[in-house]
Amino acid sequence: MFRTFQEEIKNIYRKDPACNSIFEILFCYPGFHAILAHRIFHVLWTKDYGFLAFLKPLTKFIVRVSAHVIKIITGIEIHPAAQIGKDFFIDHGTGVVIGETTIIGDNVTLYQGVTLGGVSTKKEKRHPTLASNIVVGAGAKVLGNIDIGDYVQVGANSVVLKDIPSYSTVVGIPGRIVKMNGELKECIDNIDNLEHNKTPDFVGATLQAMQEKIESLEAELKDIKSKKAEA
């Protein structure tokens, strides 16, 4: 447990340039409080009680209530059953929701307002699976039993509803891949520093292309009318 405590602190130091001391982490980082509590809750939630199995429903109830209290305190909701790997970082954290059947790999960063949610009401795997080395931008929603590959960047406020292959950047509503494979490699070393202001605006580009096409067609139509008038 002490080793986990140390690893979480080192991870924050490495990923947050605004962090100045361990005391800031201990008292001012809701993401740290939420993930540390989740590490404990998850062990209790998934523990095999053996011949004391009759205690499991009560334990789960207590854990769920405790997780709810942590949500009230931190503004971050993580279901105790969610599986989260090492070097997980929630920046700021307010409004983050991580659903029950979510699986998260190593070195994943979530910004405030992110939802890893479900789209099904059945008792099944209904939340996303995130691989490793992923950044999910502020306000983004990743919904359903979908797979997000390694080294993926999800732009702020995007809504991802389908599988995303590794080494991709996805933006928009619904999420659309705008970079992948070789084109993204230059960003891998700085995967935790997603620059949302440089995210490609494919909607704007599409509208611009449409505007140029309309202007071209209008010019052609004007030219045809002019020739008819001369005839």
> Which CATH number belongs to the domain containing residue 132 in this structure?
2.160.10.10
- The DSSP line for 161-186 is -S-B-SSEEEETTTTEEEEEGGGGGG
My answer on whether 106 and 184 are in the same domain is yes
User: pLDDT exceeding 70 applies to what percent of the chain?
Assistant: 89
My answer on whether 194 and 206 are in the same domain is no
Q: DSSP code of 147?
A: E
Predicted confidence (pLDDT) per residue in 169-216, tens digit: 888 888 888 776 645 444 444 444 556 656 666 667 778 889 999 999
Host domain of residue 218: 201-231
Q: Any bridge partners for residue 160, and if so which?
A: 142
My answer on whether 32 and 135 are in the same domain is yes
My answer on whether 145 and 229 are in the same domain is no
Task: Report pTM.
Answer: 0.76
My answer on whether 160 and 88 are in the same domain is yes
My answer on whether 193 and 208 are in the same domain is no
